[in-house]
Structure 1
Amino acid sequence: MIATIGASIAPGIALLSFFYLKDRYQTEPLHMVIKTFVFGILLVFPVMVLQYGLQEEFYFGDFGKAFIIAGLIEEFFKWFIVYYTVYKHVDFDEPYDGIVYSVAVSLGFATLENFFYLYSFGIQEAWMRALLPVSSHALFGVTMGYYLGRAKFEGTLSKQRWLMIYAVVVPALLHGCYDMILLKSKHHYLWMITPFMAFLWVISLRRVRKVQSKSKMASF
């Protein structure tokens, strides 16, 4: 059990540390980041109940499971947590903060999911889980945080509203694509998911650099 807990938590903590330490100008209070991470863990339970209930009541094909049950529901509730717990908080004071907090809630969610999976199927799956599902949640969080950070500090009210919509829709679409690849490619999924993950990492790191430049201006 101790090994399972360690293998479940380690990738989430490593990825969160990576993105947290990229906040070069005004590092977020650690207690706020930990709180958001814990909220992400707690979010798993209501989301699982909702997903189960919807699938019991309605028929969802692979497309619906990927883009609605997984993508839209999970990313909407992550967005909800970030918006109502930290978005209006005084510590959300630069664009990069959107990425820090969105990644934190996403990795909290991914960490408990990872524990349930490893507990059921064994820690021999730990490396693949770290490289794929846990990492993908972090990268969906980067996308969400990119738009949230822009929404708070950029443009007109109308533009901010659109950016808030993008903060849910774009990560939900990426999440849906990820799940669709896994559902459709089955035994050969690595041939498709590997370039998709590479694409996610490239665009995520570009967004990190772009938001860092805006955070630098906001810090002076």
Structure 2
Amino acid sequence: MFTILSAAVAPGFALMSFFYLKDRFDSKPFSIVFRTFVMGSLLVFPIMFIQYAFETEGVLQYPATKSFLLAGGLEEFFKWFIFMYAVYKQDHFEGRYDGIVYGVSISLGFATVENILYLLANGVEVAFLRALFPVSSHALFGVIMGYYLGKGKTDRKRGSIYVVWLALATPILLHGLYDYILEIWQSTWQYTLTPFMIILWLIALRKVKQANMVPADVIPIEQNKWKA
């Protein structure tokens, strides 16, 4: 049991540490980051219940609808909703890279609990592949979501609302495509998913670099009017 729990939790904490320590300016208090991690972890159970209900009733079980609506749409929407409700208007969210930290935290909270449940059901033998693919992909979706939400928070322009919605649409599309690959190429998925993950990592690391070029102290003062 301890081995399974350790193998399930380790990838999430390793990835969280990686992105947390990438902050070049002002790292957020770990207590706040951990709180968002816990919020993300609590999403697993209601989402699993909804997905199970649809599966039991045989609704939306085609590869495209299952991938883009029940997996990508449902999971990324709830992550985005938690971010908007619990983080977006808070004073401690004040820089573009903050968005990445909180996005990754929520996503990895979800991925870690999901990973624990999966390894308990299927054994530790699949832990390595789970770390490389599902857990990492959740973190990368969180990077992209957080980047756009950070951009929406700090750029007080007419297009900022568009960027906030882009923070929802882009992870849904990428997550849906990830699951669609698994649905279509069930026996040879690794040959398609591996290059997909490489591209996803490159996109995410580029977003990290771009976010780290804009420190919180250069955000326009007009952002005060957006505070709750």
TM-score by length of 2: 0.92
Structure whose residues are more often helix by fraction: 1
Q: Which amino acid aligns with 1:60?
A: Q
Whether the 8 Å CA contact 1:36–1:104 is kept in 2: the answer is yes
- The C-alpha deviation readout for 1:115-167, integer Å capped at 9, x for no partner, is 111111100111000000000000000010010000001142x4111111111
Residue 106 of structure 2 is aligned to residue 126 of structure 1: no
Whether the 8 Å CA contact 1:15–1:138 is kept in 2: the answer is yes
Structure 2: state its 5+ residue gaps. 221-228
Aligned mates of 1:163, 1:52 — CA distance in 2: 32
Whether the 8 Å CA contact 2:96–2:216 is kept in 1: the answer is no
Aligned mates of 2:217, 2:206 — CA distance in 1: 17
- The C-alpha deviation readout for 1:16-63, integer Å capped at 9, x for no partner, is 000000111010010000000011111101111222233444233000
Q: Which amino acid aligns with 1:168?
A: L
Partner of 2:3: 3
- Other structure's SS at 2:80 match: helix
Partner of 1:147: 148
Whether the 8 Å CA contact 1:25–1:219 is kept in 2: the answer is no
Whether the 8 Å CA contact 1:150–1:160 is kept in 2: the answer is yes
Whether the 8 Å CA contact 2:94–2:216 is kept in 1: the answer is no
Kindly report which structure 2 residues correspond to 1:176-187, keeping only aligned pairs within 5 A, or say none: 176-187=176-187
Partner of 1:33: 33
Partner of 2:212: 212
- Other structure's SS at 2:91 match: coil
Kindly report which structure 2 residues correspond to 1:31-110, keeping only aligned pairs within 5 A, or say none: 31-57=31-57, 58-110=59-111
Aligned mates of 2:216, 2:88 — CA distance in 1: 19
Aligned mates of 2:90, 2:111 — CA distance in 1: 24
Whether the 8 Å CA contact 2:38–2:106 is kept in 1: the answer is yes
Whether the 8 Å CA contact 2:154–2:219 is kept in 1: the answer is no
Assess, with a 3 A threshold, how the Cα gap between structure 1 residues 97 and 74 changes in structure 2: closer, same or farther. Answer: same
TM-score by length of 1: 0.96
- Other structure's SS at 2:181 match: helix
Partner of 2:199: 199
Partner of 2:223: none
Q: CA deviation at 1:217?
A: 5.8
Structure 1: state its 5+ residue gaps. none
- C-alpha RMSD over aligned residues: 1.4
Partner of 2:226: none
Paired residues, number: 219
Partner of 1:115: 116
Aligned mates of 2:52, 2:168 — CA distance in 1: 21
